[in-house]
Structure 1
């Protein structure tokens, strides 16, 4: 099997790899901040690298489609998708597939606190970071209580504040 066209360019430009045999099947992590990383980048990365232990993305161009690509990797324990205005609750079924997650940061995305109880498959999750435009303390506590029924071992941070 050979790398072709755009994919070959992707691996050469981003990782200095020109042969399929040189693409690792597993990496410890990938990090990008304030970059042009997009859904196509994640498609190429996750189509060849099957195991990624951590992904940290902040201020990139990924959308729910990128999260779908991320959901195909194994052993992902830490995922940061902070500051992505095009990540919405439509990606929650993909996040729910990441059952090895221990840490999830979806702060400053369009995912809302009310949406989170659907993440029932994330039983290994220990720490979750999310934003809420509603800052009423009673409301936030009610949301955390609802979430704790689904994710009892998870500490929740809402707008950087700790809720146990």
Structure 2
């Protein structure tokens, strides 16, 4: 896949990669926190880098419309999307990330209904959320389906309200 002018400028200015052969296909920790990355730039990244242990996108301009780009990843263990304009519309795309073990959705608009759906992520060990409203039945459903996963709601461990 060749570079467009815009993508070439992106890689050169943001990361000093002058040619696509210099862009790694795997990376351990990619910290892009507070960098004002856009949906398009996320797509540039995931179209070239296919395996990421930990991707930190906290507090960026990426929103629900950028989430399909994450499906380009072959592997990701940790994904941090804190304080971004992410809602339940992102859930379908996040469910493609089967290798995900930690997902941070704190300070987003993901609801308890979205949390319930995330119980389908097979390797998830930690989920951090801060839903606009608490629906204990959805959260309890998540824990019943995924008792091995630590659910953190509003930055506190959530325990089922049912005995």
TM-score (norm 1): 0.88
Tell me if the contact between 2:115 and 2:139 (Cα under 8 Å) persists in the aligned partners. Answer: no
Aligned pair in 2 of structure 1 residues 25, 31: CA closer, same or farther (>3 Å)?
A: same
Q: Which runs of 5+ in 2 are unaligned?
A: none
TM-score (norm 2): 0.89
Question: Which residue of 117, 137, 147 maps to 1:152?
Answer: 147
Deviations 1:112-147 (A, max 9, x none): 112222224311111110013336xxx53x333211
Aligned length: 159
> How big is the shift at 1:108?
0.9
For the aligned residues, what is the CA RMSD? 1.7
Question: Which residue of 129, 146, 161 maps to 2:156?
Answer: 161
Return structure 1 stretches of 4+ with deviation > 6 angstroms.
none
Counting only pairs closer than 5 Å after superposition, residues 1-164 of structure 1 correspond to structure 2 as 2-84=2-84, 86-134=85-133, 139-140=135-136, 142-164=137-159
Distance 2:61 2:75 in 1: 24
Tell me if the contact between 2:112 and 2:133 (Cα under 8 Å) persists in the aligned partners. Answer: no
Deviates more, 1:54-63 or 1:113-122: 113-122
> How big is the shift at 1:23?
1.3
